[in-house]
Copies of this chain bind each other. A is one copy, B any other.
Amino acid sequence: MSENYDDPIWLAVFKEAEAAAQAEPLLASFLHMTVLRHDTLEDVLAFHLSSKLSSPVMDARALMELFREALAADPVIGQKMRADIVACYDRDPACEGYSIPLLYFKGFHAIQSQRVTHWLWQQGRQTLALFLQNRISEVTGADIHPAARIGQGVMLDHGTGVVVGETAVIGDNVSILHGVTLGGSGKERGDRHPKIGDGVLIGTGAAILGNIHVGECAKVGAGSVVLDDVPPHSTVAGVPAKVVGSPGPGTPGLDMDQRV
């Protein structure tokens, strides 16, 4: 590692990986290949995601180069990645290091990969973006359309069963549990998926359907089916979902209290 003192997240990830490689012989090989021989967090991410997404018909080298190209072309992807790492570390009591989401969280991998498919989509490379969406979905269980727009500091916890549609928008500091759907409705093209405000928490298994708004700092209860706009700072729950209260003064997306 070239010492990169301007990137504290990278320093932390590197030190954690170094300690883990020392303590756990079975992981030393993986950690050297994936983390310790690299110089930046971007290189680690490109290597790690290409390990996960390569297949008998898509060479890991080609994927790694693609991820590097995207990360170099759009530095915001790397900035958001760092914010997402911090988000997982701060919000998930079971996450005891910065390297943990980077290396081991499917939901984190799904979001970072989608940021690359999003960049491809913007470049007019739709087919490659769809190819990767398929592969990401196979590996992580999260199916996020390349065109969806995702803020920073977003935590996709576990990720399995998550579906995010083409025209969905997710704000900053949002937390989304597994099994959540930001879905469209009907077969018309155009803007048809939910818009999620900053600081929102969406509980496990909730389905939010249609071009509706979930206001900032709202909380959507687990298992809810949301068909109408959700006011800011409100809590909704039920099938169909109704306002059942308020999450209080905090930010649900940061506080992670799914209970309503």
Contacts and interface: CB of A to CB of B under 8 A. Distances in A.
A223 B239 contact: yes
Contacts of A179: 161, 179, 181, 205
Interface residues of A, number: 98
Interface stretch (A6-14, A78-86, A138-146): A138-146
Contact of A160 (B91, B93, B160): B160
B127 A20 contact: yes
What is the count of identical protomers in the complex? Answer: 6
A177 B91 CA distance: 28
A71 to B, nearest CB: 15
Interface string A227-260: 1000000000111100000000000001111111
A150 interface: no
A133 B104 CA distance: 8
By CB atoms of chain B within 10 A, which of A130, A133, A139 has the most? A130
B94 A258 contact: no
Nearest to A128: B24
Contacts of A190: 93
A94 B183 CA distance: 12
Contacts of A204: 163, 181, 183, 207, 209
Interface of A: 20-21, 23-30, 32-34, 36-37, 47, 50-52, 54-62, 64, 66, 90-94, 96, 100, 103-106, 125-128, 130-131, 133-134, 137-141, 143, 145, 158, 160-161, 163, 165-166, 177-179, 181, 183-190, 192, 203-205, 207, 209-210, 221-225, 227, 237-240, 254-260
5 contacts: A52-B55, A60-B60, A93-B192, A137-B141, A204-B209
